[in-house]
C-alpha cells in the first residue's frame, strides 16, 4: 500500500513533530559514550568472573579475603560525593551559585579522599600481603585491573569536576545553559554505579 | 550579515551550517565535512587494500608449490596474520562505515553534517595512524597467530604482536566514536517528516550497524588491552600456566568479532537495497521486512559468538543453543534475499556495472551464507573447523558479499562524489575479471577443506597441489580485475562522462542536489512525505525546488 504523495495534507504532523524533537545532541552523545564505557567495564568484569569460576576456588589458595570494613568506609566516602554532586547541580539550577561552589568543593574533596583510601589499600595489600598486579596470578590481575580502571575514572572525574568548577566561576555557564555541569554530574554518578558493581563482586561475594 | 538568511524550518542544531572552508588544509586534509571525511576514508582504505592484496598474493605465490620455499614459514604466518587484520579492520569496516556511511547517509536523511563533525575528523585521523602502526609491526616481528591472535600463540609471538594489539585498539576507539556519532545523527537529525519507516534502507543499515560499532568494539578493546597488558607487564589473564584461560580470549574476541561480521555486511545490505530498486525501476519489495530483518540480525549477532568455539571445549548443553541461534540468522537473511529477488522480478533491469556487481553479490553472498549454515551445525563444524573450508566460507561472505557490494556502491555513488561517471566498459571488464577470478579462487578451497587441508600452513600434502595452483592463478585474474578498477577510478576523475545531479534516476535525497554536493548539502532542508521507493509517484519531498537553480543563493553560515 503505497502512500500517495498527493494524499498527504500540507500540515503533515510528522513533518512538524520530528523537527521539534531535535534537541541537544551533546547529551545524547555523552550518554552513548557512557554506554560504551559501561561495556568496557562489563567485559573486564566478565573476564574476572570467568577466571574466578574456572579456577580452584576463590580467593585462590594463599590469599586471604580483602578487608571489607575499610573498603565499605571508603565506599561511603564515594557515595557521599555522589550526594554532594547532586546538591551542587540542584543549587546551580536554582541560581544559588555560592552554594553550588561549596557543594562542588565538597565533592572534589570526597573524590580525592576516596582515591587516597584506595591508595592506602593498595599499599597495605602490597606491603603486608605481597599482592601485586603481575605477581599474584589472576587474583592480583583482576583486582588491580578493575579497581585501577575505576580509580582512573575517579581521578579523571576529580580533574574534570575541578575544571568545571573553574569554568563555572568564570561564567562559562548560565542557570539554564549548563551542559558541562549536567555531563559532569552524569559521569560522577556513573562512576558511583560502577563502584557498586565492583564492591559487590570483590568484597561481598 | 548575521540576519540575512534565517532558516526556514524551526532551525534547531540540525540546521547549523559550517562556514565554507577556504584553505586547502581545512578543506581537504583536516576537514570536518562528512563528505570529504567519507572520501578520505575510502581513499585510505583502498590504499590499505593494495597492501592487504599484495600480502594475499604473496601467500598465493607461496602456495603454488606444496613444499614452497618462496618465504620462510614464520614469514608466511606474518603474511596471513597481517593480511586478515588489514582486510577486516583497515579495509572493509572503514569502507562501509566511515567511508560510504559518512558520505551517503547524512545526505540521505537531509542533514547538513553528522552530529559531531570534529569527532568525525578525529575518528578518521586515528585510522591511518593505526594502520601505519599495524604495518610497523613487520619491522619488529609481526604477529603470527592469524587475525584472531589466539593465546597462547599470541603470547609467544614477536614484539610486533603488542603493536598489533595497540593498533587494533586504536581502530576500535575510532569505530566506537563513529558509532556514537552516527547513532545520534540518525536518531536526532533526520529532515522533518522523515519517520523511521520513511528512511532509505541504507540508513537502516547504518542505524543497525552503529550500536554494533559502539558496543562490540568496546568489548574487543577490553580483550586487546588485556592481551597488551599481559604481554608487556606480565599480568596473567590468558596464560594457563599462571591461572589464566586461553578460552577467555576466544569468548571476548568472538563477542566482538561475530557482530563485526555484521558490521561488515549490514551496510552492504543497505547499499544493495538502494541499487536494486533504482536499476529495476521498481519499488523495493518488502521495505518493512528488510528494515526489520536488519535490526533482527543486529540483535541476534550478540547471541551467537560461541559458534566459533565448538572445538574449544564447551559444555554440550551450551553448544545446542548457539547452534540453533546461529541457524536463526538465516531467516532474516533469507527474507532479504527473497525481497531483493522479488524486487528484480518483472522490473525493467538496467544492467549497469553497479547493477552487475549487485546481482553478483546475491549469487556469491547466498552461496557463502549457505556454507555458514553448514558450519553452524556442530557435527559438521567439528569436521571442517580449522580447514580451508572456513577460508572459503569467510572469503565468500567478505569478498563475495561485502567487497562486491562495495564495488557496486563505488560505481553507484562515484558520480555523486566526483561529479563524473566511471567508465562503463572498463567497469564491465573489472566485473568479469573479478567475478570469474574470485569464484575460481575460492570454490576449490571448499573441497580442499573437506579433504582435510588445514588453513594457515606454508607447506601441505602434495595431493592438494593442483587445486592450490588453480586457486593461485585465478587469484591473479581477480587482482587484475581490481587493478582495472583502480585505474578506472583514477582516470575517470578527469575523463569520465559528466554525471549531472542524478545520472541513475534514483529517488533518495542525495540525488536531488548537485554532484558533488556543496559544503552545506541542502540550500533548504527539505520536508519528507514518504519512503523514497515508489517509482510510480512524484518525488516525496517538499522544498527542493531551488537546489539545482543557480539563481537561488547558498544559505548563510552560522556561528564561528
Ligand atoms: Cu560468527
Mean pLDDT, chain B, rounded, equals: 92
Nearest residue of A to residue B8, measured between CA atoms: A19
> Above 90 in pLDDT, residue B560?
no
Element (H, E) at B180: helix B160-188
pLDDT of B165 = 97
3-state DSSP assignment of residue B517: coil
d(CA B432, CA B478): 9
Residue B188's H or E segment, with its range, is helix B160-188
pLDDT tens digits along B263-291: 999 999 999 999 999 999 999 999 999 99
DSSP state of B387: B
| Contacts by residues A169-176 (CB-CB < 8 Å, ≥ 24 positions apart) | A169/A101, A173/A92, A175/A92, A175/A93, A175/A95
Q: Do A12 and B529 touch (CB under 8 A)?
A: yes
Domains of chain A by range and CATH? 30-204 (1.20.120.80)
Local confidence band at B556 (pLDDT 50, 70, 90 cut-offs): confident
In the structure, what pLDDT confidence band is assigned to residue B23 with cuts at 50, 70 and 90?
confident
Q: What average pLDDT does the segment B108-115 reach? A: 92
Q: Could you tell me if B68 and B458 are in contact, meaning their C-beta atoms sit under 8 angstroms apart?
A: yes
Residues A19-26, mean pLDDT to the nearest whole number: 58
CATH (residue range B13-542)? 1.20.210.10
Q: In the predicted model, what is the mean pLDDT of residues B430-437?
A: 98
**Contact B534/A at CB under 8 A:** yes
Q: What's the whole-number mean pLDDT along residues B168-180?
A: 96
Per-residue model confidence (pLDDT) at position B557 = 66
Please give the Cα distance from B221 to B84 (Å, whole number). 18
- Using alpha carbons, select from B341, B428, B432, B444 the residue that is nearest to residue B396: B444
CA distances to B315, B320, B373, B391 from B379, in Å? 14, 11, 12, 18
* Contact flag A22-B193 (C-beta cutoff 8 Å): no
Q: Are B394 and B83 in contact (CB under 8 A)?
A: no
Is some CB atom of chain B closer than 8 A to the CB atom of A64?
no
Q: What is the pLDDT of residue A174?
A: 86
Residue B6 has pLDDT above 70, yes or no: no
d(CA A153, CA A144): 14
| Closest residue by Cα to residue B145 from B175, B168, B116 | B168
CA gap A136, A139 in Å, rounded: 6
Q: What is the pTM of this model?
A: 0.92
Helix (H) or strand (E) holding B317: helix B316-344
In this predicted structure, the answer to whether residue B312 has a pLDDT above a threshold of 80 is yes
- In whole angstroms, give the CA distance from residue B359 to residue B345: 12
pLDDT, mean of residues A102-116: 97
User: Can you spell out the DSSP letters for B296-316?
Assistant: HHHHHGGG-GGGG-TTS---H
- Residues A138-159 pLDDT 10s: 888 999 999 999 999 999 999 9
Q: How far is CA A44 from the centre of its chain?
A: 16
How far apart, in whole angstroms, are the C-alpha atoms of residue B435 and residue B360?
Answer: 7
Contact residues on chain A for B178, CB-CB shorter than 8 A: none
pLDDT at A162 over 90: yes
What confidence score (pLDDT) does residue B13 get?
47
Asked if A47 and B244 come within 8 Å (Cβ–Cβ), the reply is no
pLDDT band at B15; cut points 50, 70, 90:
low
Checking if the pLDDT of A108 tops 80, the result is: yes
Mean pLDDT of all residues in B474-492: 97
Residue A6 clears pLDDT 70, i.e. is over it: no
Q: Is some CB atom of chain A closer than 8 A to the CB atom of B7?
A: no
Q: Which of B237, B254, B302, B537 to mutate to test the interface with A (most CBs of A within 10 A)?
A: B237
Task: Identify the CA nearest to B392 among candidates B375, B405, B378.
Answer: B375
List the single residue in B116, B255, B527 with the smallest CB-CB distance to A15. B527
The reported pLDDT for the residue numbered A15 is 53
Asked if B133 and B168 count as a contact pair (C-beta separation under 8 A), the reply is no
* Nearest CA-CA partner of B343 in B281, B261, B424, B427: B281
Average pLDDT over every residue of B391-411: 97
Q: What is the mean pLDDT of residues B217-234?
A: 94
Q: How many angstroms separate the first and last alpha carbons of chain B?
A: 13
Say if residue B113 is preceded by a cis peptide, omega within 30 of 0: no
Neighbours of B2 (CB within 10 A): 8
Backbone angles phi, psi at B527, to 5 degrees: -100, 140
pLDDT at B83 over 50: yes
CA B335/CA B404 separation, integer angstroms: 20
Q: Are residues B430 and B408 in contact, defined by beta-carbon separation less than 8 angstroms?
A: no
Nearest CA in chain B to A45: B222
| Residue A50 touches chain B, beta carbons under 8 Å | yes
Distance B308 CA to ligand 1 centre (A): 6
Query: Under DSSP, is residue B531 helix (H, G, I), strand (E, B) or coil?
Result: coil
Alpha-carbon Rg for chain A, nearest whole angstrom, is 23
Residue among B533, B536, B549 at smallest CA distance from B501: B549
- Tell me the three state secondary structure of residue B522: coil
Read off the DSSP letter of residue B306: G
DSSP letters for B221-286: HHHHHHHHHHHHH---SS-GGGT--HHHHHHHHHHHHHHHHHHTTHHHHHHHHHHHHHHHTSPPTT
Count of Cβ atoms closer than 10 Å to residue B458 Cβ: 20
Q: Is residue B419 helix, strand or coil? A: coil
DSSP codes, B365-385: HHHHHHHHHHHHSHHHHHHHT
pLDDT at A123 over 80: yes
Q: DSSP states of A18-37 as a string? A: HHHH---HHHHHHHHHHHHH
CA-based torsion, A140, A142, A147, A153: positive or negative: positive
| pLDDT at residue A135 is higher than 90 | no
Find the mean pLDDT for residues A64-75: 88
Average pLDDT over residues A40-65: 84
Q: How far is CA B370 from CA B273, B295, B364, B383, in A?
A: 20, 21, 10, 17
CB-CB under 8 Å, A28 with B184: yes
Instruction: Return the minimum-mean-pLDDT range out of A49-58, A110-119, A124-133.
Output: A49-58
Of the residues B120, B151, B222, B257, the best mutation for testing chain A's interface (the one with the most A CB atoms within 10 Å of its CB) is B222
pLDDT score recorded for residue B558:
55
pLDDT at A56: 66
Q: How many residues does chain A have?
A: 205
**Can you list the alpha helix ranges (DSSP code H) found in chain A?**
13-21, 25-54, 68-93, 97-129, 137-169, 179-199
Q: Is A16 on the interface with B (CB under 8 A)?
A: yes
CA distance B454 to B433: 28
Domain boundaries, chain B: 13-542
Q: Is the pLDDT of residue B10 over 60?
A: no
- Quote the pLDDT of residue A16: 46
- Could you give the 3-state DSSP secondary structure of residue B454? strand
Closest CA to B293 of B328, B343, B258, B325: B328
B183 touching A, CB under 8 A? yes
d(CA A140, CA A131): 6
Predicted pLDDT of residue B543: 86
Amino acid at each position: 500500500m503505497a502512500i500517495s504523495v498527493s494524499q498527504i495534507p500540507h500540515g503533515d504532523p510528522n513533518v512538524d513533530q520530528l523537527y521539534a524533537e531535535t534537541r541537544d545532541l551533546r547529551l545524547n552523545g555523552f550518554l552513548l559514550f557512557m554506554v560504551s564505557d559501561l561495556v568496557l567495564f562489563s567485559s573486564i568484569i566478565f573476564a574476572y568472573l570467568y577466571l574466578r569460576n574456572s579456577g580452584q576456588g576463590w580467593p585462590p589458595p594463599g590469599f586471604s579475603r580483602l578487608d571489607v570494613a575499610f573498603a565499605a568506609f571508603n565506599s561511603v566516602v564515594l557515595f557521599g560525593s555522589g550526594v554532594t554532586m547532586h546538591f551542587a547541580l540542584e543549587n546551580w539550577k536554582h541560581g544559588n551559585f555560592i552554594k553550588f561552589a561549596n557543594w562542588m568543593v565538597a565533592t572534589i574533596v570526597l573524590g580525592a579522599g576516596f582515591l587516597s583510601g584506595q591508595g592506602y589499600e593498595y599499599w597495605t595489600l602490597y606491603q603486608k600481603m605481597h599482592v601485586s598486579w603481575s605477581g599474584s596470578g589472576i587474583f592480583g590481575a583482576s583486582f588491580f585491573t578493575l579497581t585501577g580502571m575505576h580509580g582512573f575514572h575517579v581521578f579523571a572525574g576529580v580533574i574534570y569536576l575541578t575544571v568545571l568548577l573553574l569554568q563555572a566561576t568564570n561564567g562559562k555557564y548560565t542557570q539554564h545553559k549548563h551542559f558541562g555541569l549536567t555531563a559532569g554530574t552524569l559521569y560522577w554518578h556513573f562512576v558511583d554505579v560502577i563502584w557498586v558493581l565492583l564492591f559487590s563482586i570483590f568484597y561481598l561475594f | 550579515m548575521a540576519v540575512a538568511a534565517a532558516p526556514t524550518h524551526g532551525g534547531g542544531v540540525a540546521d547549523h551550517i559550517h562556514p565554507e572552508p577556504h584553505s586547502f588544509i581545512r578543506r581537504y586534509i583536516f576537514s570536518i565535512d562528512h563528505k570529504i571525511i567519507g572520501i578520505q576514508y575510502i581513499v585510505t582504505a583502498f590504499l590499505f587494500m593494495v597492501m592487504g592484496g599484495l600480502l594475499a598474493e604473496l601467500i598465493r605465490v607461496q602456495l603454488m608449490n606444496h613444499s614452497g620455499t618462496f618465504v620462510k614459514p614464520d614469514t608466511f604466518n606474518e603474511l596471513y596474520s597481517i593480511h586478515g587484520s588489514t582486510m577486516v579492520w583497515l579495509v572493509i569496516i572503514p569502507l562501509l562505515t566511515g567511508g560510504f556511511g559518512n558520505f551517503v547517509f547524512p545526505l540521505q536523511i537531509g542533514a547538513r553534517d553528522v552530529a559531531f563533525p570534529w569527532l568525525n575528523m578525529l575518528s578518521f585521523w586515528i585510522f591511518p595512524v593505526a594502520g601505519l602502526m599495524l604495518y610497523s609491526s613487520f619491522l619488529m616481528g609481526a604477529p603470527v597467530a592469524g587475525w584472531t591472535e589466539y593465546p597462547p600463540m599470541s603470547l609467544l609471538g614477536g614484539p610486533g604482536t603488542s603493536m598489533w594489539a595497540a593498533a587494533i585498539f586504536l581502530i576500535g576507539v575510532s569505530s566506537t566514536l563513529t558509532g556514537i556519532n552516527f547513532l545520534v545523527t540518525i536518531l536526532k537529525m533526520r529532515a522533518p517528516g522523515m519517520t523511521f519507516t520513511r528512511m532509505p534502507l541504507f540508513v537502516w543499515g547504518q542505524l543497525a550497524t552503529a550500536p554494533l560499532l559502539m558496543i562490540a568494539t568496546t568489548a574487543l578493546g577490553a580483550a586487546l588491552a588485556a592481551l597488551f597488558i599481559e604481554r608487556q607487564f606480565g599480568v596473567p589473564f590468558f596464560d594457563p600456566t599462571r591461572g589464566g584461560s586461553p578460552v577467555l580470549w576466544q569468548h571476548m574476541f568472538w563477542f566482538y568479532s561475530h557482530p563485526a561480521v555484521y558490521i561488515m555486511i549490514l551496510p552492504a545490505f543497505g547499499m544493495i537495497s538502494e541499487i536494486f530498486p533504482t536499476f529495476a525501476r521498481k519499488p523495493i519489495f518488502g521495505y518493512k521486512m528488510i528494515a526489520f530483518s536488519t535490526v533482527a540480525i543486529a540483535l541476534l549477532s550478540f547471541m551467537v559468538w560461541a559458534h566459533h568455539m565448538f572445538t574449544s571445549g564447551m559444555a554440550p548443553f551450551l553448544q545446542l543453543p548457539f547452534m540453533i541461534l546461529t541457524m536463526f540468522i538465516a531467516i532474516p537473511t533469507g527474507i532479504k534475499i527473497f525481497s531483493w529477488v522479488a524486487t528484480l522480478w518483472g522490473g525493467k533491469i538496467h544492467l549497469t556495472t553497479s547493477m552487475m556487481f549487485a546481482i553478483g553479490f546475491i549469487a556469491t553472498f547466498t552461496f557463502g551464507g549457505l556454507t555458514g549454515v553448514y558450519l553452524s551445525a556442530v557435527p559438521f563444524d567439528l569436521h571442517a573447523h580449522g580447514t580451508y573450508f572456513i577460508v572459503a566460507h569467510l572469503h565468500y561472505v567478505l569478498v563475495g558479499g561485502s567487497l562486491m557490494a562495495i564495488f557496486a556502491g563505488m560505481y553507484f555513488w562515484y558520480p555523486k562524489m566526483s561529479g563524473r561517471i566511471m567508465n562503463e566498459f572498463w567497469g564491465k571488464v573489472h566485473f568479469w575479471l573479478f567475478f570469474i577470478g574470485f569464484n575460481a579462487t575460492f570454490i576449490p578451497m571448499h573441497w580442499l577443506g573437506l579433504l582435510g587441508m588445514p588453513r594457515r600452513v606454508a607447506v601441505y600434502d602434495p595431493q592438494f597441489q593442483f587445486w592450490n595452483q588453480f586457486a593461485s592463478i585465478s587469484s591473479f585474474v581477480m587482482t587484475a580485475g581490481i587493478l582495472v578498477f583502480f585505474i578506472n577510478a583514477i582516470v575517470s576523475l578527469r575523463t569520465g562522462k559528466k554525471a549531472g545531479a542524478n545520472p541513475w534516476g534514483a529517488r533518495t535525497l542525495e540525488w536531488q542536489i548537485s554532484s558533488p554536493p556543496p559544503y552545506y548539502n541542502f540550500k533548504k532542508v527539505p520536508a519528507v512525505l514518504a519512503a523514497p521507493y515508489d517509482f510510480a509517484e512524484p518525488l516525496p519531498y517538499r522544498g527542493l525546488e531551488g537546489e539545482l537553480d543557480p539563481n537561488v543563493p547558498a544559505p548563510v553560515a552560522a556561528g564561528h
